[in-house]
Structures are given as C-alpha cells and as structure tokens.
Structure 1
Amino acid sequence: MASLNFLKNVGPGALVAAAFIGPGTVTVCTLAGANFGYTLLWALLFATIATIIFQEMSGRLGTIAQKGLGEALRESLQYSIWKWPLFALIAIALYGGNAAYEAGNLSGAALGVSAILDEPSDNVFTWTIIIIALIAALALWRGSYKQVERLLMALVLFMGVAFISTFIVSRPDLGAFMQGMFTPTIKDESLVTIVALIGTTVVPYNLFLHASAAKARWQGEADLPAARTDSIVSIGLGGLVAMFIVSTAAASLFSRGLGASSAADMAIQLEPLFGSFSKYLLGAGLFAAGLSSSLTAPLATAYAITEIINPNANIKEKIFRGVSLSVLLVGVVFALSGAKPINIIIGAQFANGLLLPIIAAFLLYTMNNKALLGKYTNGLVANTLGAIVFVVSVGLGVRLVLKSLSVM
C-alpha cells in the first residue's frame, strides 16, 4: 500500500513513541501532576514497562512472522467457531476506542492553537479542528506524507526536550519523585486518572500499528535485535518524557495549589524556563502532537480491520481508505460535540485503558502460536510479564466499573 511507504524510513518504536506522546499524554500527565503531585508516577512506570513488553511482542510478530496483528489473528482463528464474534468484538472495540482517541487528538491540537492565539472562542476551536481534519484527510487519502510525519515527530521531540529541560529547572522534589514511582497508591478519586495514564501510554491501537510497521521495516531473524533495541529505547524515552511532564506539573502547579483546566493553565509549568513564550511552545507542541496522532489512529484502525477481513486485492485499498477516513470523521463529530476538550481527552484515554485487556489477551494468544512464530513464541518470562500487565489492567478496569455502579 502507498500508505505504508512512510513507515519504511521511520523506526517502528519511534513511531509508537510519537503516537502516544500526543495531546492526550500531555494533558493527562499535566492533570495527574497538578491534582495528585508525584503520587501517580508509579502508574506511568508500570505503563511504560507494559508498553515495552507488549510492543516488543508486536514488533517480534511483524519481524519474524512478517504479519500484522490483525492478519495473525485471522489466520490463528480461521477454524474456530468463535472467529467472527471475536473479530466483530475487536473491530467494534478498536473502531470505537480509536474514534474517541481521535476526538482527543483533534481537541488537543485545537487547544494548542487556542493557547497560541490566546483566543479561547468556540469559532477558533471549531475551525482548528476542521482544518486539521482536512489536512489529515488529504494525507490519509493520498497515502504518502513522509515529510509531514518527520516534521511532526521533530516538533514532538522538541516538546519532549522542553519538558526535560523544565524538569531540571523546576527543581522537583527528588525524594517525592522516587517515592511516587516505586510506592503504588490507589485512591478512589485518582482511579480514573490512573486508568487514563495507563490508557494514554499502553495504547491498544499501537499494537496493530507496530506489527505492520515492523513487517515493513524488518525482515526476519537477523533484524530481531535491532527491532527490540528500537522498541526498548524509543518507548523508554517516551515514558521518561511522560514522567517528566507529571513531575513538572507537580513542582509548578500542585506545590502552589494550582489546578489545570485549559492550555493556558498547562503552560504555567513551562514558565520557569521559557517565560512568556511558554504558551507558544505548548501550543505548537499540542498542535504537532495532535496532528501526528490524528494520522496514526485512523491508520492503525484501517490496518487492523483490513487485515482481519482480508478483502479482495482489488478493493483492499478502497476499504483501507474508507475505514481510516471514517475514523477521522467520527472523531471530528465527537470533538465538535460541545463537550469540554479536556474531558474529551480524558475520556479517550479512559476508553483506551478499558480496551487494553481485550487487545492484550489476543496478542498473548497470538504470541504463543508455534505454527506462526516457531522458536520465537513467548517464553515463560514474556508470558508471565504479559499476564501481570493483563491482570492489573483488568483489575483497574473492573474496580472503576464497580465504583461507577456504587458497588465499591
């Protein structure tokens, strides 16, 4: 496919990191730091390790088996009576989750423009979403946007460097930082934020995107070490940036008793280093991250669904484009629904957190298929770590559902 061309010159791990360091991550991490200080850093540490574990599996699948996750699932379950019900569950959950995620991406980018223009009006927000959607739609339709993707990744990387620098300048409480990272605490009022932090890092659609990207970039056993290094380094750095965002918000907002309800409030955490330029930096970063992520979410959905249904080659490209553009369109509708942008972003990450156990279960199933991966199936360590992540994510999701029903 032409839409796969841009992946060949980008490390799949770097692409995944760029996808999850989007406006949702910046927003959720800022709110986590502003509302709970350093106490939820453990959730990000868990989420980063979980992301590395699952993305390594996804990358291994694409590298060794030369298959996308959707394709592997279709072949693994081709003789099962549960095949179509399971495929329908995956497609619906992935489509709905990514549509919500897309709304968060677009809303985050619009928040960035509002911060730059210092103009929070509905007209600016609406037209920003429409313009970004048109740019994304053109890129998805043409299927080639390598230069745009590189530029956006560079801007997101610049934002990451800005937060690392601000982390140093803001002089965070290192004792509280270490305690928050290694001492898990779960309170009822922080549960939604915990699930959102996990959902914004361990992004389910990235498992499909990574396998397809690895399939295009790496070819077989000889490339496996490079694929693993790419995943560990890129995703590890992305997780570190997310932790720094939480910490700068804790040092600059929580410690001063300030909250964050808009992009202007979020920009306060950059003021120690960038002063009045902070809002422009945050605005540009949110816009770049939002546009970048608004492309990857529809792409991942299209890869997953076309791989699962395996349409005729003559119509495969049309279905691919149709699915990706429809995800973008539904995301636009959600983003323009009138809900508060930050609530949309939090809701999208929350949906991702609930979707994770479903996709993780199917990934673990696939990675234990010897007919597909031979000696590169999961070993005891990989299965144990994957099972731990699965159990924790299920436990958090169940607790949140019970809490919403006033059972807990």
Structure 2
Amino acid sequence: MSPGSRGHDVTAVTEGSWRAYLADMGPSWIAGAIAAGPATMASLVTAGATFGYALLWIVLLSAVLGASAQYLAMRLGLLTEAGIVTIVERHLGEGWAWVLVIDAVLAAGLAQLVIMKSVADISATVTGVDARIWGVGWAVILALGLAGRGYRFVELLAKLLVTAVVVAFLASLFVVPIDPAGAAAGLVPRIPAGVDGAIVAAGILGGAVHITLITMHSYTMRARGWTARDYGLATFDVGASMLVAFGVYSLAIFLVAAAALHSPDVTAGELTAVSAAQALGPLVGSSARWLFLLGLWGAAVSTLGGNTVVPPYLIADKLGWGTDVSDGRYRALLAAVALLSGLGAFLGGVFFPLLVLVLAFGLVGTPFAIAVVLYLLNSDAVPERNSTLANLGGVVLLAVTAILAGNFVGSQALPELGDPIPTFVAAFAAALGAATLVLIGTYVRESFRGAAAR
C-alpha cells in the first residue's frame, strides 16, 4: 500500500486537536532551532543596527518562506516515507544524489565550524576561560549527547532553548521604544547600501530557507516514526515552529536592534556581539550585556546540536546505512562530526560577521535543493502530486532565493575573483546554478513528452 493510499486527506490539517498537536510536535522544531540560531541573530542584529527598519520586509518574508520551504520538505518526506537522498537516487539517479549530498554537507559543515566558534567565544566571554578549551569541551559534550541519546536529545534541547530565546527577546520589546512610522517604511521592499545590504539580506533569508533545514526534515520525521497518517500533525508542527516561533523570534530581535542599536556609525562588517550587547545597556539596564550574550549563547547551543546531525543523516542515507544510533556506523559518524566541529574554536576573526557570511553561503546552495523537492513532488515519486497553490509557493520560493543568492555572489564573490574563498564561492554557485537549470530543463522536457503521449 502506498503512503498516500490509506484513506486520509493529505492536503491539510484534518485530524487531531491542537492540544494533541502541541504535545506531539517536534521534528520541525529542530529545523527551527537551527534557523533561530546565532547566525540568524547576527544577521538580524546587523540589519537593524546598520540599516534601521529598512529590511523589515525581508524579516517578515523570511518567516513565510521558511515555513513554505519546510512544508514542501515535510510533504515529500511524509508521502515517500523515505530519506530525501534515497528518493533522489531512486527517481533522479546516483549523480544527482551525490550533488545534493555535497551541497548540503559543505553548507552544514562550514556552518558547524563557525557556530562552534560562536559557542566557544561566548562561553569564553562569560567565564573568562580560553575559547579553545571551551571548543574542545563542547565538542566532547556534543559527541556524548548525540551518540548516546540520538534524536530525542536534539529535539528536547531544541524545544527548550528555542522557547527560552523567543520569550527573552519578545519580552525585550516591552522596554525598547519602537518607531511605528519607521517600521511601516521598512515594509517597502528594497535593498539598502549595495554590497553590505545584499549580504545581510541574503543572511536573513538564508537563516530561514537553508539547504540544511530542507534536507534534514525527512530524517527527523522518520526518527519520530511519522507517516502520511500524521500529515495534520506535521503541518501544525511546521506552522508552530517556523511560522510562529521563528517569526516572532526574528521580528523581536530585528525591532529591538533597529530601535536600540541603529546608528550612522555602525557598519555591517564591524559589529560584534559585545558591542551590540553594550549598546543595549542605556535602554534595558546594566544587565543587558549578560542577557544578550546568554540569549545568543542559548541560540548557538541549540543550533549546534541540530546542525550536527545533518551531514551524518545525508551521508549515512547515501551509503545505505541506518540513520539512527542503533546503527553503529551512523553513531560513529555522528560522533566524528561532533568532535571535528571543535576545530571551529581555533578559527580566527570575529564570529558575528562570519555568521552572516555563512548564512549567505548556505543560501547559494538552497535553490538547487528547492528545485529537487519541487521536481519530486510533481513526479511519480509521490502518490499525490502538488496542488497548484503549493507549486506556486515553491516557484516563488525558488525565485526569491535564486535572486538573493545571485545578488550575494555578484556583489561579494565576483569582484574578488582570484582570491581563494571568493573564487570557491563563485565556482560553487556556478556549478549548482547549472545543475538547477539542467534539472528544470529535464522536468520541462519530461512534462512535454508526457503531454504528447497522452
């Protein structure tokens, strides 16, 4: 019996009460924990401090598009009841599966190193202990926690820390004076200040719509044993975590930053976590520095746990291993990724601007993942193809991410070709852009053939 042929409507929230949904939700909160991480916080604080309310429109758009991306990923995972890499290999071929794995692992791996640097640096600021010692310590804790308890450990951590961080920043809105006229002007779409504005805008959207979030969702749902019968619960899970919790988180941080930190003297590349925290002091009291750093620390720890599982999920699925800790090979891979992340504490530079760049880089690989999901949801891979509305949302998602990613590459990487990192980013973007176009062309060709055959 196919997943979609069990007598259930798999197009909307149709079963169960909201109380039952609240008790049972979970997988999308791991995606939400990664989205509501220090990189997103850095992007939002940088946007508000540097450009005031000008990027409010993209903050709101990021929550809507983030929920849309997770909904499409959720739909694919439930209707196929398999990991995304398996589905791609089965219906598109091994080459496409490897492209997806490489794309996601590079984005998640780079993010892991910078997030660990963030956790270690914040821990050092709070305690006075060397950040490198903290990095090694956090890597060991992460390895023991994930390899020992697996998925449930990540989910519980995500729910607790995301909720705490959302409440903390929402509360701050009551003591920071918001300018309604300035906020209303920020609803008009525009990218301010050229290169810096493009990077920050890409960073904000990259926090919500990221290849790691899209590719991990099928595995976290499988870890909970969800099937097509749980469609209503899974839809509620996406809405509660990405649209509501993440949306409130993003809006609260951005408005606080725009109201309290905006200054002509602030530049996107020079803002640090400590300077942002100290600037809040006159408005929210002498404890602002510690509250801000603890909020950033909580977001970083929750993201670190969620992001760690992404490369092991994809690699294990591609190699035909199990994707839970009952498979010793997966457990060893999970522990190895956790331990290697400790190297992030040895990176140089200030982590705040690095986080923004990491999200922008991840956004470069995201349009390909969206194209893959849309292709599969409109193919024989699923028993019930996408509705027109779902496809329209997916196309908008693909277009917006592609435009912002292209804007980032054009303004940041292309002008500095010859330097190793910009050259790599440009080559990475070109390869994935070509793969996306080929995939779209393949779908169009197959659709015309199918129509001609009918």
TM-score of the superposition, structure 1-length normalised?
A: 0.86
Q: Which amino acid aligns with 1:277?
A: S
2:25·2:233 contact (CA, 8 Å) conserved in 1?
no
Instruction: Note the C-alpha offset of 1:107.
Output: 2.0
Separation in 2, partners of 1:73, 1:154: 33
Within a 5 Å distance, the mapping from 1:234-245 to structure 2 comes to: 234-237=241-244, 238-245=246-253
Structure 2 residue aligned with 1:349: 359
Instruction: Indicate conservation of the 8 Å contact 1:112/1:287, yes or no.
Output: yes
Q: How does 1:6-405 map to 2 (within 5 A)?
A: 11-77=26-92, 83-117=93-127, 119=128, 124-144=130-150, 146=152, 150-151=156-157, 153-189=159-195, 190-217=197-224, 219-237=226-244, 238-255=246-263, 257-258=265-266, 261-268=271-278, 271=281, 274-311=284-321, 317-369=327-379, 371-375=380-384, 377-403=385-411, 404-405=413-414
Q: CA deviation at 1:310?
A: 1.7
Corresponding pairs, count? 389
Tell me by how many angstroms 1:248 deviates: 0.5
- Per-residue displacement from partner, 1:15-72 (whole Å, max 9, x unpaired)? 2212211111111211111111111122222222211111111112233322222222
> Cα deviation per residue 1:217-253 (whole Å; 9 max; x = unaligned)?
3644442122112211221121221122111111111
Contact 1:40 1:194 in 2 (8 A): yes
Structure 2: runs of 5+ lacking an equivalent: 1-22, 417-454
What letter corresponds to residue 374 of structure 1 in structure 2? Answer: P
Distance of aligned partners of 1:110 and 1:72 in 2 relative to their CA distance in 1, 3 Å threshold: same
After superposition, the Cα gap between the structure-2 partners of 1:326 and 1:358, relative to the gap in structure 1 and judged at 3 Å, is: farther
SS of the residue corresponding to residue 310 of structure 1 reads: coil
Q: Is the 8 A contact 1:100 1:347 kept in 2?
A: no
C-alpha distance in 2 between matches for 1:313 and 1:38 = 43
Asked if 2 retains the 8 angstrom alpha-carbon contact of 1:18 and 1:156, the reply is: yes
> Higher helix share goes to which structure?
1
Stretch of structure 1 that moved more, 224-233 or 334-343: 334-343
Decide whether the 8 Å contact of 2:150 with 2:325 is kept in 1: no
Check conservation: 2:203, 2:360, Cα contact below 8 A: yes
Offset of residue 274 of structure 1: 5.0
Shifted more, 104-113 versus 259-268: the winner is: 259-268
Structure 1 residues 155 and 101: alpha-carbon distance in aligned structure 2, compared to 1, 3 A threshold: same
Task: Output the CA distance in 1 between the equivalents of 2:52 and 2:95.
Answer: 43
CA deviations 1:245-304 (Å, max 9, x no partner) are 111111111058556633222224654675222222223333332222222112122112
RMSD: 2.8
CA contact (8 A) 1:99 1:328 kept: no
Identity %: 23
Displacement of 1:11 in angstroms is 1.6
- 8 Å contact kept, 2:25–2:234: no
Alpha-carbon distance in structure 2 between the residues aligned to 1:339 and 1:313 = 35
Partners of 2:154 and 2:402 in 1: how far apart? Answer: 37
Query: Is contact 1:101–1:331 with CA below 8 Å preserved after alignment?
Result: no
Q: Unpaired segments of 5 or more residues in structure 1?
A: 1-7, 78-82
Deviation at 1:148, TM superposition (A): 7.1
Offset of residue 307 of structure 1 = 1.8
The higher radius of gyration belongs to 2
Structure 2 distance, partners of 1:164, 1:138, is: 33
Question: Partner residue of 1:80?
Answer: none
Distance 1:173 1:96, change over 3 A: same
The CA distance in 2 between the partners of 1:205 and 1:312, in whole Å, is 19
How far off its partner does 1:193 sit?
A: 0.9
Stretch deviating more after TM superposition (257-266 or 390-399):
257-266
- Give the whole-Å Cα distance in 2 for the aligned partners of 1:32 and 1:164: 18
Could you list the per-position Cα deviations for residues 110-141 of structure 1 after superposition, in whole angstroms to 9, with x for gaps in the alignment? Answer: 23324423x4xxx6221221111111111232
| Distance in 1 between residues matched to 2:50 and 2:360, nearest whole Å | 17
Task: Report if the CA contact (8 A) 2:146-2:154 is conserved.
Answer: no
Over 3 Å counting, the alpha-carbon distance change for 1:156 and 1:265 in structure 2 is: farther
What whole-Å deviation, never above 9, does each CA across 1:359-380 have from its counterpart, x for those lacking one?
11111112212x33212x2122
With the length of structure 2 as denominator, give the TM-score of the two structures: 0.78
CA contact 1:115–1:263 (8 Å) conserved in 2:
no
